[in-house]
Amino acid sequence: MSAAITLWEAFAEVPDPRNASGRRHPLQAMLTLASVAILGGAKSLTAIAQFGRDRGEEFRRALGFTRDYTPCCATFHYLFRRLDLASFDRAILRWLNGRCRSGLHTVSMDGKTARGTQGYELPGIHLLAAYTHEAQAVMAQIPVDAKTNEHKAALQLLKLIPLEGVVVTGDAMFCQRDLSRKISQRKGDWLWTVKDNQPDLRASIATAFDDADLSPLGESCRDGRTADGADDRQRARSG
């Protein structure tokens, strides 16, 4: 488990893609402002910029801005075009890991199409996310290319999150041997949904649970009855 850190501290390791001569605002301050604005409901660069302008001098100084104004939307635009997204994701992951004070125990994988990205002849942006229940946040997500599927994308997503001692859950899409093996190799556990489109596996599971219904003497314990039909509870009452 990582030590708890602030968002501002997490962004210290993100490389600055801007030329030194053109920097007006500290990178950590800009990334922290953008993240806080998005967490507060901002959905555009204009909204992020306006969020900063509305907060006043005390807010600016707390984030590390040195000028009397926060960045405009164009400044954010040029920064985000060149920002190393992998480094940004790693910084967010460090921050989230620090929020898991009791350790990371469960991660749920699920895919969704981003709202507002679908349109005429546009398939939309589909993202596969890993949600951690301890931090109550998405700790990592990657786009699912139209030429692949969530199963293949999950193999890449698992590389971004710690798995030792973690239970990974997901729907029937992820009930695959390679995913299960990858998690087990990194000392994690998994819990998948099994549906009728995997009849052999479903039958094997049903058989395993049927065996579990037998008592040590080989008698069925289902519904409180033994194999010869007598009621166990009635036997106990009668001595």
SS3 string, 92-106, reads HHHHHHHHCCCCCCE
- The answer to whether residue 149 scores a pLDDT higher than 60 is yes
| Bigger pLDDT: 2 vs 14 | 14
Split at pLDDT 50, 70, 90, the class of 96 is confident
- The answer to whether residue 76 scores a pLDDT higher than 90 is yes
Closest CA relative to residue 27, chosen from 66, 55, 53: 66
Cα–Cα distance for residue pair 172/179, rounded to 1 Å: 12
Q: Decide: 151 and 176 in contact? Cβ < 8 Å.
A: yes
- The answer to whether residue 139 scores a pLDDT higher than 90 is no
User: Both tokens of residue 203?
Assistant: 């039958």
Number of Cβ within 10 Å of residue 160's Cβ equals: 15
**What's the whole-number average pLDDT of the chain?**
82
Please give the average per-residue pLDDT across 185-210, as a whole number: 88
Split at pLDDT 50, 70, 90, the class of 198 is confident
- The answer to whether residue 106 scores a pLDDT higher than 80 is yes
Cα–Cα distance for residue pair 226/20, rounded to 1 Å: 80
Closest CA relative to residue 176, chosen from 206, 162, 205, 155: 155
Split at pLDDT 50, 70, 90, the class of 223 is low
**DSSP helix/strand/coil, 139:** strand
Q: Which amino acid is at 175?
A: C
pLDDT of residue 109: 92
Q: Which amino acid is at 162?
A: P
pLDDT of residue 120: 61
- pLDDT, tens digit (0-9, with 9 covering 90-100), for 180-192: 999 999 999 999 9
Cα–Cα distance for residue pair 191/135, rounded to 1 Å: 20
